[in-house]
Chain A
Amino acid sequence: MTVLGLDLGSRAIKLAALHKGRLVAATSAESGFEPHRQAEAMIAPYQPARIAATGYGRHLAQKHFAEKVITEIKAHALGARHHVSACQTILDVGGQDSKVISLDTRGQVSQFQMNDKCAAGTGRFLEIMAASLGYDLPEFAAAAATSEQSVPINSMCAVFAESEVVSLRNRGFAPADIARAIHLAIAERLVGMLERIGLRGEVVFSGGVARNPFLAKILQEKLGRPLHIPPTPEITGALGAALFLEATL
């Protein structure tokens, strides 16, 4: 039987389908107003299946269809270790939050930190900044990669940064240079989170923001070590939930 892992985030629902231990499908969709209905529609093609849930909406999922729930922290730990078995540090940057997780050599969570109170350092922040420069997300990263200019950005608060972008543009800075500065500022913040918790072992970078190649590049430079990015980085949590359930069967 298929084992499904669902990660019900505040903005998107991600699904990972396992068959005999192998990832056979991965999908994602906007959460919408009724996340559990959206999730049910996503599950439908795989029925009959056994389902585990994680993410913000995990308890809601348990009410409706999931037989097991685990937190995002544990789910990411399992998902990341599935990709890189020596992983001991995880950086996950999703739409609404970012987290760093530190694992012991056996893969057990030893410490974690979540930034979920402010938009800075999340996918949402990147979206707002891209939009204020008139880019979509791929263009935003691509433009940043073309710049070599340093522009000082003072504010990492999503509210203030937006007006700062406007004022930088008014002062004549090129959008690509501003884009680069924003990426650098976010990277700085994420590196700070990682250093606080302490970098150990192999590092996995997951979450939708891991698809941003420029951010990944400067993070690797700043950290001075390679980052492992799963092929579908946003389903790491969903995959972890599915793996968890499979292990209990």
Chain B
Amino acid sequence: MHMVSCASLSTKQMQIKNEIHIINLTFPQRHETFRHSTTGNETIARSATQKQKTTHNRSKGMSEPFEIKADTALWASLDMDVERFKNVPPTLTQAFTSIFLSQQNRPEKMAYFDEMISNIFSGRIQEMVDAKAEGRPVIGTFCVYVPEEIVHAANGVCVGLCGGSPGSIPDAEKILPRNICPMVKSAFGFKVGKICPFFQVVDIVYGETTCDAKKKTWELLNDYVPTHVMEIPQMKRERDKQLWVEEVIDFKSAIEKQCDKVISNADLQNSITVLNGKRQALQRLNGLRHHTPSPISGRDMLLIQQIAFYDEPERFTEQVHLLCDELDARIKAGNAIAPAETPRIMISGTPMALPNWKLHNIIENSGAVVVNEESCIGTRYYKDTIDTDGANMTAMLERLTERYMKIDCSCFTPNDDRIDQVIREYRASGAQGIIDYTLQFCHSYNIEAVKLRRACEKEGIPFMAIESDYSPEDVGQLQTRVEAFLEQIQG
């Protein structure tokens, strides 16, 4: 029978059969809320023990099953809807285990990042609670245009709040229109439903005027958490730069006020150095990752770039370098995550916020490897650093603004720099095709995909644009598209 010839099936094709796990976090609707009563003392006691727990030493050898930790007392102290939220860690544990921990031959130094995921709703939150207790406010942001160097210089904690889960969208849709970007809905729903500890821990949120969905949502979000807005212009002319510098200065004053600290020249100089260091570490990592065959999977890279938005910068930088050292050694030893002939795909487009692993999972389960993310949770976050020449505060703020002006979000017009950047990254990453990812209803990226397609056609680069949201419904269709694109690349 023909089954004999099945032996010739490539492992790649066997992988395709793997079921695609999609994270469909469910947040049961709120019924009679039952809360754990927490006494103040308990919270303090926990706080002390938690501190030790966050030292991220994974004991080698003992393979405890991975678990995303819960801390109901901590959540209750943050006024969360504990009953609803407590289902999240088990669901996420399952998704994470099947998507990440099932990979073969992962770099060992991924252990730290796994630990960061394990502590995402407990240890890391506790650290932020502790920071607040020490008088360091937590500032939530939604966009890579908001200068985190300034928050760092004021001794505040900066955390990215973009939402990547379908679970909070029904909460948002009770208030917001349905036909807007899922990232905005997910984030807003987290706050409205009190089902995100990060949202609960922030003192203020700093929004910006990039896209309409966000800009108008801030007006509503302000009812739930103090929401400030920084104006980001839509063009990059000299007069826009003037406005931008002024906005940065206003941002600095607002942060200084919130943190009750005047930022000195030395503070800012230091913070610029720290965050430049973080961005350089990510640049180094992405550079190593571009090696063919890939020393690390696309999903692991996405994960690290997502963690960059909530980890403590200096610790994160150190860990990224440790991982880089390992990847260096792996490359020298010819130790790859996938064989050299594995098709290499680059992603461009809108950010993929935690826990949005949908597309990477589909692509890598279809037998390809993702080798670059031209995205805000990707290269847009770290491709540029700040010129440290600035001698005084004014000069430093101007250098800082110049760096932020290099970010090439599709909210700007014209935005041809981005097109060139995409092509550059394509070449640098050794990719064989680009999948452009637009979150549903994100008009600016969706429209910019037209120009990107034209540019790719001109350069002979295989290009496919997809539009998707967080729901699991289109997984089958996306799988077909991705597989057809891989067939196209492989001829």
- Whether B491 pairs with A108 at a CB distance below 8 angstroms is yes
Q: How far is the CA of A150 from the CA of B6 in the complex (A)?
A: 57
- Whether B487 pairs with A71 at a CB distance below 8 angstroms is yes
- Whether A59 pairs with B477 at a CB distance below 8 angstroms is no
Given contacts A48-B1, A62-B17, A108-B491, contact A71 B476 (CB under 8 A): no
Q: Chain B residues with Cβ under 8 A from A165's Cβ?
A: none
Interface size, chain B (Cβ < 8 Å): 19
Given contacts A49-B2, A51-B2, A67-B9, contact A108 B484 (CB under 8 A): no
The distance from the CB of B280 to the nearest CB of chain A, in whole angstroms, is 38
Given contacts A49-B2, A62-B17, A67-B5, contact A114 B488 (CB under 8 A): no
- CB < 8 Å neighbour of A117 from B9, B477, B487: B477
Q: Chain B residues with Cβ under 8 A from A68's Cβ?
A: 9, 13
Q: Chain B residues with Cβ under 8 A from A67's Cβ?
A: 2-3, 5-6, 9
Q: Which residues of A contact B (CB under 8 A)?
A: 48-51, 56, 59, 62-63, 67-74, 108-110, 112, 114, 116-117
B246 interface hit (Cβ, 8 Å): no
- Whether B480 pairs with A108 at a CB distance below 8 angstroms is no
| Further 6 A-B residue pairs, CB within 8 A, beyond A50-B2, A68-B13, A73-B484 | A62-B13, A67-B6, A73-B480, A109-B484, A114-B477, A114-B481
Question: What 1/0 mask marks residues of chain B from 1 to 35 whose CB sits below 8 Å from any chain A CB?
Answer: 11101100100010011000000000000000000
Report 19 cross-chain contacts, Cβ distance below 8 Å, ordered by A residue.
A49-B2, A51-B2, A56-B476, A59-B17, A63-B17, A67-B3, A67-B5, A68-B13, A69-B16, A70-B487, A71-B480, A71-B483, A72-B480, A72-B484, A74-B484, A74-B487, A109-B488, A116-B474, A117-B477
Q: How far is the CA of A69 from the CA of B16 in the complex (A)?
A: 10
- Whether A114 pairs with B480 at a CB distance below 8 angstroms is yes
> Of B480, B481, B487, which is in contact with the most chain A CB atoms at under 10 Å from its CB?
B480
Question: What 1/0 mask marks residues of chain B from 471 to 491 whose CB sits below 8 Å from any chain A CB?
Answer: 000101100110110011001
Q: How far is the CA of A53 from the CA of B483 in the complex (A)?
A: 14
Main secondary structure of the interface of B (DSSP, over half): helix
Given contacts A48-B1, A56-B480, contact A69 B13 (CB under 8 A): yes
Q: Chain A residues with Cβ under 8 A from B1's Cβ?
A: 48
Q: Chain B residues with Cβ under 8 A from A116's Cβ?
A: 474, 477
Given contacts A63-B17, A69-B13, A114-B477, contact A48 B483 (CB under 8 A): no
Given contacts A56-B476, A114-B477, contact A48 B484 (CB under 8 A): no
- Whether B484 pairs with A71 at a CB distance below 8 angstroms is yes
- Whether A108 pairs with B5 at a CB distance below 8 angstroms is no
Q: How far is the CA of A103 from the CA of B483 in the complex (A)?
A: 17
Residues 438 to 476 of chain B near chain A (Cβ within 8 Å):
474, 476
The distance from the CB of B8 to the nearest CB of chain A, in whole angstroms, is 9
Q: Chain A residues with Cβ under 8 A from B484's Cβ?
A: 71-74, 109, 112
Q: Chain A residues with Cβ under 8 A from B2's Cβ?
A: 48-51, 67
The distance from the CB of B484 to the nearest CB of chain A, in whole angstroms, is 4
Given contacts A50-B2, A63-B17, contact A73 B487 (CB under 8 A): yes
Residues 71 to 95 of chain B near chain A (Cβ within 8 Å):
none
Q: Chain B residues with Cβ under 8 A from A56's Cβ?
A: 476, 480
Q: How far is the CA of A51 from the CA of B16 in the complex (A)?
A: 18
- Whether A59 pairs with B6 at a CB distance below 8 angstroms is no
Q: How far is the CA of A15 from the CA of B248 in the complex (A)?
A: 65
Measured CB to CB, the nearest residue on chain B to A63 is B17
The distance from the CB of B342 to the nearest CB of chain A, in whole angstroms, is 18
The distance from the CB of A196 to the nearest CB of chain B, in whole angstroms, is 10
Q: How far is the CA of A108 from the CA of B491 in the complex (A)?
A: 7
Measured CB to CB, the nearest residue on chain B to A106 is B491
Q: How far is the CA of A71 from the CA of B480 in the complex (A)?
A: 6
Q: How far is the CA of A230 from the CA of B286 in the complex (A)?
A: 49
Q: How far is the CA of A67 from the CA of B6 in the complex (A)?
A: 6
Q: Chain A residues with Cβ under 8 A from B480's Cβ?
A: 56, 71-73, 114
Q: Chain B residues with Cβ under 8 A from A73's Cβ?
A: 480, 484, 487-488
Q: How far is the CA of A171 from the CA of B249 in the complex (A)?
A: 64
Q: Chain A residues with Cβ under 8 A from B5's Cβ?
A: 50, 67
Residues 184 to 217 of chain B near chain A (Cβ within 8 Å):
none
Q: How far is the CA of A109 from the CA of B485 in the complex (A)?
A: 9
Measured CB to CB, the nearest residue on chain B to A1 is B2
Q: How far is the CA of A49 from the CA of B480 in the complex (A)?
A: 26
Q: How far is the CA of A110 from the CA of B481 in the complex (A)?
A: 13
- Whether A108 pairs with B488 at a CB distance below 8 angstroms is yes
The distance from the CB of A35 to the nearest CB of chain B, in whole angstroms, is 13
